[in-house]
Amino acid sequence: MEDPTGLFTTSLQPAEAAELGLARPVLVEALDGFVDAGGGRRLAREHLLNALDSQLLVTFDVDQLIDYRAQRPQMTFTTDHWADYAAPHISIHLVRDLNDVPFLLLHGSEPDMQWERFIAAVRVLVAEFVVRLVIGVNAIPMGVPHTRPLTVIAHGTPLELVADYPKWLPTVQVPASVAGLLEYRLGQSGTPACGFAVAVPHYLANLDYPDAAHTLLNSVSSAGELSLPVEALAHAAEVVRGDVDRQIANADEITALVRQLEQQYDDLATARGGGLLSDGTQLPTADELGAEFEKYLSNRPDTDTSS
């Protein structure tokens, strides 16, 4: 493996960071991945950067990490010239919570290449800035109803980090991600690391669902002992839920499907059912439910679902 320090540059050295009060900080990992149901991770990340004071701390060399043909950046063409280029980035910002406590936020594009070297680079930074805990955030589509509290799937090493969270899933195999591998490697090296994946109703996975971001930031606040702004997200979540309720109120097929998901959720909550992956024959698949919901929305051109 090539020297991992060749992947990044820092605008603030550890000694300088200490002068700013950056003592044994939490690092929140919010890299884009192949799934982000309801935009939960993106909304949480954007909310932190927009609502709190921050400054750029570390910049990664994306030319060594990104396959531009696999995830092509967007360019803007205006009439007769190229007007803008949305360059990919991978960065770490120093962010201050509502009590002026500093923490680190790793965000940007998930690397396509050199995963192990990238993770080694993050581990170097974790050591340099004496990070005490790494927390990852994710949002996945699951067979849950929007009328119930969102479920959080917690994982971490050591297990005591997430001991208070219910165990929702059995042993499963999923496609790997840099975030998952980072948590795994940190655990192997003895660095405390955990992650929270919020289960978003799969029939709403393609819409911005601020309740997902609200739930994730609450989990991060608790695990990292941070004071994070969540009121605006909570309000936006109420607005979206009300909009969804109004849209499906007169759609008998969608209402029936949601009721079935409610029954499964309630059975699980009272320990009568299986897990979030139980696939009882009376329940629709994610594709079936999503297709029904999208079909219903397509027949309502006057309805705005962008809020």
Strands (E), the chain: 8-10, 26-31, 54-60, 75-78, 81-85, 90-96, 102-108, 133-142, 151-157, 193-201
| Helix, strand counts (H, E) of the chain | 8, 10
Question: Could you tell me the sign of the dihedral formed by the alpha carbons of 198, 201, 204, 206, in that order?
Answer: positive
The domain spans of the chain are 4-230, 238-298
Higher pLDDT, 184 or 13: 184
* Confidence grade of residue 291 (pLDDT, cut at 50, 70, 90): low
Residue-wise burial string across 175-195, b where 16 or more C-beta atoms lie within 10 A, e elsewhere: eebbbbebbebbbeeebbbbb
Q: Do 8 and 61 contact (CB within 8 A), yes or no?
A: yes
Least trusted range by pLDDT, from 17-31, 91-105, 207-221, 271-285: 271-285
pLDDT tens track for 152-162? 999 999 999 99
- Model confidence at 261: pLDDT above 70: yes
pTM for this prediction: 0.86
CA 22 to chain centre: 24
Highest mean pLDDT pick, 102-111, 200-209, 257-266, 291-300: 102-111
Q: Cα(54)–Cα(27) distance, rounded to whole angstroms?
A: 14
* Confidence grade of residue 3 (pLDDT, cut at 50, 70, 90): very high
pLDDT tens track for 39-69? 999 999 999 999 999 999 999 999 999 999 9
Residue type, position 179, single letter: A
CATH, domain 4-230, list 3.90.550.10, 3.40.50.10900, 3.40.50.300, 3.40.309.10: 3.40.50.10900
**Number of Cα atoms under 13 Å in the Cβ half of residue 44:** 33
Measured CA distances, 127 to 25, 108, 132 (Å): 11, 21, 9
Task: Calculate the CA dihedral of residues 218, 216, 241, 248 and round it to 10 degrees.
Answer: -150
